[in-house]
Chains A and B, each alone.
Chain A
Amino acid sequence: MVSPMTASFPATAAARTLSGQILAIPMTVAIFSGAIALFANSFWLSAATSAIALSLSVAGLAILYGQLGLVSLCQFALVGVGGWVTLRVGHAFHPPFEVSLLAGGIVAAVVGLAFGLPALRLRGLYLALVTLMLAGAFQIIISAWGFPDGGSGFLGRADGAGRAMLSRPSIAGEAIPYFLYVNVFAALGLMIAQWHKLARPGRAWALIRKGETVAISAGVPVLVYKAWAFALSGFLAGIAGALLAGNVGQLDGRAFTSFESLNLFALAVVGGVYNWYGALIAGLLLRAIPALLTDLGIDGYVTIGIFGLALFQALATAPSGVAGQISGLLNRLRAHLGKSGAE
């Protein structure tokens, strides 16, 4: 397996300013979401909504793997945690949607940190195994508990009659407004992740990647910055779960298998963990391919094979993923334009 330490990093982008690099995110998301909102039918709109929401959780994985080389295989479980808390808080207290969403994000951050704690001193295969087992544990718990659907008690299960849906935010009740609403949060989440990469935490992570001794020699409190990466990654996964819960108004416990966490990681690598738009690409692949297959009447399980092949292709030929290839193309284009402009 190609380690992220040896992968080729995009070598330019030096001269562009921090705010410029961050502002590219809302601009891209706005153009993209506008196009989809204009042209997609309701089936594709719903798929795009969950794709965008999921890309946030991929952004979290990209921090762990792209910034620190840590393989976490329980990210979809954290999406589930965020979704569970959002539904639980929403049904119990009926606060504005944003409050439930934030609660989902924060609890998932805490759980992500707790999942990460035993892992702070692990890496490579051992970390992957531990997190995969945690994802398996979550799968067992959530298939027993199910997601809250307006019932009473801690688990909030209504069982059969009286099942309630979580209502969407009041400003985004319909499909298209909710899709745009999700895009706003996705842009915010991606900007937070990108700021982290470009500012002080990103520099500390870069040093840790170089070696813990090197990082400590530069004054970096290594455990704090690793823990922060786990918490941030969990937070983004939790927000993704909250936005998914808001999309349909409920979640299905059977959809949160440990296998989904594996898929998420594979697609994160395929999309590219070194560029922010890798997460968007991964989210789209994750939802668009199954939707496309359903559209064509092909069994959804074929996606597993397709994702496997895509992962193999990425690891073998493009360790920085689709996004890395796009970035390389853009850089060449920019260099070319710069040259002809100077003449």
Chain B
Amino acid sequence: MIAIENLIVQFGGVRPIDCLTAQLSAPVSGLIGPNGAGKTTLLNVLSGFVRPIEGKVAVKGQALLDLSPLQRVRAGLRRSFQTEQVVEDLTVVGNLKAIADHVLPNNERAESVSAALDFVRLRAVAATMGSSLNLFQRRLVELGKCVVGTPKLILLDEPAAGLSNEESGVLRELILRIPGEYGAQVLVIDHDVDLIRAMCTETLVLDYGRMLALGPTDEVLASPDVRRAYLGEF
């Protein structure tokens, strides 16, 4: 459960997040909104790369903003980036090991990497260099990195961007299995409303840094406010 209270982020004169109060408790929650709505900024606040000027955030009862970004990772926070960040000159396994190195004791790393490799079904390309992977495989590596160790909260920034329908279907199935298999809560940003509908029982809609709607995904997507903000987008 993520509890956000009165959150304000300010960059110079703009407020990409403005007095946001919201509670997310679904196993897989969606975060949508038009371009520039503040979605990535909210993820950056949760992962510690952006400091809000005001507000509180608690995850499973633990105050998040006191922790450094590294402490958050060690406590089980994982995130992926809007543009995938697979390292080209490491193998798939190397990319997974790179995170296992820092979040697990020595004797648990190999097992966790192996499990993650199977989870995202990349064993066949385990020894392939990142530079030789296609976009779908890269997105899978990014997801795999999120389940290395003991993830508690996984933040995915447009994990299916650029994928075909079939590919994002596979990704969706994997993401849906995460809460059951890893016990982690997932927050997904995506512009693909159908994907969000199929994956998230609960969705938060941001617009100009403010909460436009929050609730069961179907209700939220049907609301006139949301349809207006998204006019032309679906």
* A→B interface (CB under 8 Å): 9-12, 14-15, 200, 203-204, 206-207, 209-211, 213-214, 216-221
Q: How far is the CB of A270 from chain B (nearest CB, A)?
A: 21
> Contacts A9-B89, A216-B70 hold; do A14 and B97 have CB atoms under 8 A apart?
no
Q: How far is the CB of A10 from chain B (nearest CB, A)?
A: 8
Q: Which residue of B70, B85, B131 contacts A11 across the interface (Cβ within 8 Å)?
A: B131
> Contacts A210-B87, A213-B49 hold; do A219 and B94 have CB atoms under 8 A apart?
no
Asked whether B98 lies within 8 Å of A11 as measured between CB atoms, the reply is: no
> Contacts A206-B87, A221-B70 hold; do A9 and B131 have CB atoms under 8 A apart?
yes
* B→A interface (CB under 8 Å): 47, 49, 69-70, 73-74, 78-79, 81, 85, 87-91, 94, 97-99, 101-103, 127-129, 131-132, 145
Report B-chain residues with C-beta under 8 Å of the C-beta of A10.
89
26 residue pairs bridging A and B, Cβ less than 8 Å apart: A9-B88, A11-B129, A11-B131, A11-B132, A15-B127, A200-B97, A200-B101, A203-B97, A203-B101, A204-B98, A206-B87, A207-B87, A209-B87, A210-B87, A213-B49, A216-B69, A216-B73, A217-B47, A217-B73, A218-B73, A219-B73, A219-B74, A219-B102, A220-B98, A220-B102, A221-B70
Q: Which residue of B69, B90, B127, B132 contacts A217 across the interface (Cβ within 8 Å)?
A: B69
Instruction: Please give me the residue from chain B that is nearest to A203 by CB atom.
Output: B98
Asked whether A204 lies within 8 Å of B101 as measured between CB atoms, the reply is: yes
User: How far apart sit A206 and B90, CA to CA, in the bound complex (Å)?
Assistant: 8
Instruction: Please give me the residue from chain B that is nearest to A214 by CB atom.
Output: B85
Q: How far is the CB of A189 from chain B (nearest CB, A)?
A: 22
User: How far apart sit A219 and B145, CA to CA, in the bound complex (Å)?
Assistant: 11
Give 16 A-B pairs besides A214-B85, A217-B69, A218-B98 with Cβ atoms closer than 8 angstroms: A9-B88, A14-B91, A14-B128, A200-B101, A203-B90, A203-B94, A203-B97, A206-B87, A206-B90, A207-B87, A210-B85, A216-B70, A217-B47, A217-B78, A217-B81, A221-B70
Instruction: Please give me the residue from chain A that is nearest to B131 by CB atom.
Output: A11
Q: How far is the CB of B213 from chain A (nearest CB, A)?
A: 29
Instruction: Please give me the residue from chain A that is nearest to B125 by CB atom.
Output: A14
User: How far apart sit A216 and B69, CA to CA, in the bound complex (Å)?
Assistant: 7
Report B-chain residues with C-beta under 8 Å of the C-beta of A206.
87, 89-90, 94, 98
Report A-chain residues with C-beta under 8 Å of the C-beta of B49.
213, 216
User: How far apart sit A288 and B129, CA to CA, in the bound complex (Å)?
Assistant: 36
Report B-chain residues with C-beta under 8 Å of the C-beta of A220.
98, 101-102
Report B-chain residues with C-beta under 8 Å of the C-beta of A211.
85
Q: How far is the CB of A273 from chain B (nearest CB, A)?
A: 12
User: How far apart sit A219 and B70, CA to CA, in the bound complex (Å)?
Assistant: 5
User: How far apart sit A15 and B128, CA to CA, in the bound complex (Å)?
Assistant: 8
Question: 5 tightest CB-CB pairs across the interface, nearest first?
Answer: A219-B102, A9-B89, A203-B98, A218-B99, A219-B73
Q: How far is the CB of B42 from chain A (nearest CB, A)?
A: 15
Asked whether B127 lies within 8 Å of A14 as measured between CB atoms, the reply is: yes
User: How far apart sit A207 and B101, CA to CA, in the bound complex (Å)?
Assistant: 12
Report A-chain residues with C-beta under 8 Å of the C-beta of B128.
14
Q: How far is the CB of B232 from chain A (nearest CB, A)?
A: 32
Report B-chain residues with C-beta under 8 Å of the C-beta of A204.
98, 101-102
Identify the interface centre among B47, B94, B101, B103: most chain A CB within 10 Å of its CB.
B101
User: How far apart sit A190 and B40, CA to CA, in the bound complex (Å)?
Assistant: 43
Q: How far is the CB of B26 from chain A (nearest CB, A)?
A: 23
Q: Which residue of A14, A214, A217 contacts B129 across the interface (Cβ within 8 Å)?
A: A14
User: How far apart sit A220 and B103, CA to CA, in the bound complex (Å)?
Assistant: 9
Asked whether A218 lies within 8 Å of B127 as measured between CB atoms, the reply is: no
Report A-chain residues with C-beta under 8 Å of the C-beta of B70.
216, 219, 221
Asked whether B87 lies within 8 Å of A219 as measured between CB atoms, the reply is: no
